[in-house]
């Protein structure tokens, strides 16, 4: 198998398995303690990856929020925040999105071949647009990231991207934060779309504020 980064999947769900609701405003599932835990995980990674749908819907910054953690990364010879990575098939990303306009650091957009030229025009000066193949093949993306020095990659969504890594067997660890609320909407996005044989190995369960953190090993790379 070609070298690839250690891939950590991170997401929060409601008790009924929803990643969000169907309103225009993002549903924040994690409490302050869990958001701080996620920030610490970000600070330990070389890159953070999301899908284009997450950029359009949530407009995330994808940065380390804690100034102390940023400073610790700089002292270690690393940039304040990890490389920001987006997967897109259409290339239709707003150059004014916060991940392209907030803070410094490298931004990579892996785009399906047919949309690469348009995406490069659209994001000129904002990000490096790379050809991810006809449909955005994940193995090639990981191999390219490894070649750029990314050893630990955090994947934060959305549902299709998480399912893609799971279904392709390209994830090493899943950190699932279960929030104490029910969305109750059958149309809400859920953590679904991938199947894997057998049962996953649970390596940790702990309370983080009012959230239950479930940590699963998806490969033998997890200690």
Closest CA to 11 of 124, 166, 139: 166
Q: C-alpha angle with apex 187: 209 to 42, nearest 5 degrees? A: 40
**pTM (2 d.p.):** 0.94
pLDDT per position as a tens digit, 48-102: 999 999 999 999 999 999 999 999 999 999 999 999 999 999 999 999 999 999 9
- In order, the DSSP letters of 65-99 are --HHHHHHHHHTTS-SSPEEEEEESS----TTSHH
On whether residue 163 sits in a domain, the answer given is yes
Domain count, the chain: 1
Q: Residue 159 falls within a domain, yes or no?
A: yes
Q: Which of 211, 187, 214 is nearest to 29 (CA)?
A: 211
State the Cα–Cα distance between residues 33 and 211, nearest whole angstrom: 8
pLDDT at 143 over 60: yes
Task: State the average pLDDT for the chain.
Answer: 94
* CATH number for the domain harbouring residue 184: 3.40.430.10
Contact predicate 52/86, CB 8 Å: yes
Spatial separation of the C-alpha atoms in residues 133 and 130, rounded to whole Å: 9
Does residue 2 have a pLDDT over 60?
Answer: no
Q: State the residue for tokens 């916060």.
A: 98
The whole domain housing 33 covers: 6-217
In a domain, 125, yes or no: yes
Q: Reduced to 3 states, what is the DSSP secondary structure of residue 48? A: strand
Q: What percent of the chain has pLDDT over 70?
A: 98
pLDDT at 25: 85
Q: What b/e sequence results for 139-166 when a residue is b if at least 16 CB atoms lie within 10 Å of its CB, and e otherwise?
A: eebbebbbeeebeebbbbbbbbbbbbbb
The model's pLDDT over 176-208, given as tens digits with 9 standing for 90+, comes to 999 999 999 999 988 776 678 889 999 999 999
Q: Which of 211, 178, 221, 215 is nearest to 200 (CA)?
A: 215
């Amino acid at each position: 198998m070609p070298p690839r980064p250690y891939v950590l999947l991170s997401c929060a769900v409601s008790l009924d398995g929803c990643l969000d609701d169907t309103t225009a405003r993002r549903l924040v599932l994690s409490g302050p303690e869990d958001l701080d835990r996620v920030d610490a995980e970000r600070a330990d990674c070389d890159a953070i990856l999301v899908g284009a749908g997450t950029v359009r819907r949530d407009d995330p910054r994808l940065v380390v929020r804690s100034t102390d953690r940023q400073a610790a990364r700089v002292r270690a010879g690393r940039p304040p925040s990890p490389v920001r990575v987006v997967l897109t098939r259409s290339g239709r990303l707003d150059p004014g999105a916060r991940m392209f306009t907030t803070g410094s650091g490298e931004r990579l957009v892996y785009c399906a071949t047919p949309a690469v030229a348009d995406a490069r025009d659209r994001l000129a000066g904002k990000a490096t647009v790379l050809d991810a193949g006809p449909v955005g093949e994940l193995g090639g993306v990981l191999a390219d990231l490894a070649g750029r020095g990314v050893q630990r990659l955090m994947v934060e969504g959305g549902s299709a991207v998480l399912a893609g890594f799971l279904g392709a067997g390209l994830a090493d660890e899943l950190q699932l934060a279960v929030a104490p609320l029910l969305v109750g909407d059958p149309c809400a996005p859920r953590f679904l779309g991938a199947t894997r044989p057998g049962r996953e190995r649970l390596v940790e369960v702990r309370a983080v504020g009012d959230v239950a953190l479930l940590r699963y090993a998806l490969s033998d790379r997890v200690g």
